[in-house]
């Protein structure tokens, strides 16, 4: 099994395609790891109220979600409760 950091260094890993948004807020990799298809998604959400970012991201993800396994990580800059989880909003 692959697992040091993200994968062992000797793990068979191939990037089949990649997509980066124009503002470099997310990257989507269609990859094969040990002959298993994965979709790897790294998101760095904007730190301001920008619903268009998430709408655009959702549209792109709907187009991409065709592989068996998907891993999503990053910093979404979202709060569960605006009054409790943010200051000076």
Residue ranges making up the domain that contains 34: 14-85
- How far is CA 17 from each of CA 30, 46, 50, 70, 87, rounded to the nearest angstrom? 5, 24, 27, 14, 40
Span 46-80, pLDDT tens digits: 877 788 888 888 888 888 877 678 889 988 887 77
Determine the Cα–Cα distance for residues 53 and 80; give it in Å rounded to an integer: 18
In a domain, 5, yes or no: no
In a domain, 2, yes or no: no
In a domain, 8, yes or no: no
In a domain, 30, yes or no: yes
In a domain, 51, yes or no: yes
Question: What whole-number percentage of the chain has pLDDT above 70?
Answer: 84
Domains contained in the chain, number: 1
pTM (predicted TM-score): 0.73
């Amino acid at each position: 099994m692959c697992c040091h950091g993200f994968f062992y260094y000797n793990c068979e890993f191939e990037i089949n395609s990649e997509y980066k948004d124009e503002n470099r807020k997310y990257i989507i990799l269609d990859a094969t790891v040990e002959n298993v298809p994965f979709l790897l998604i790294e998101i760095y959400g904007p730190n301001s109220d920008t619903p268009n970012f998430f709408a655009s991201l959702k549209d792109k993800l709907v187009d991409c979600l065709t592989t068996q396994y998907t891993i999503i990580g990053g910093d979404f800059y979202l709060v569960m409760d605006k009054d409790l989880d943010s200051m000076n909003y």
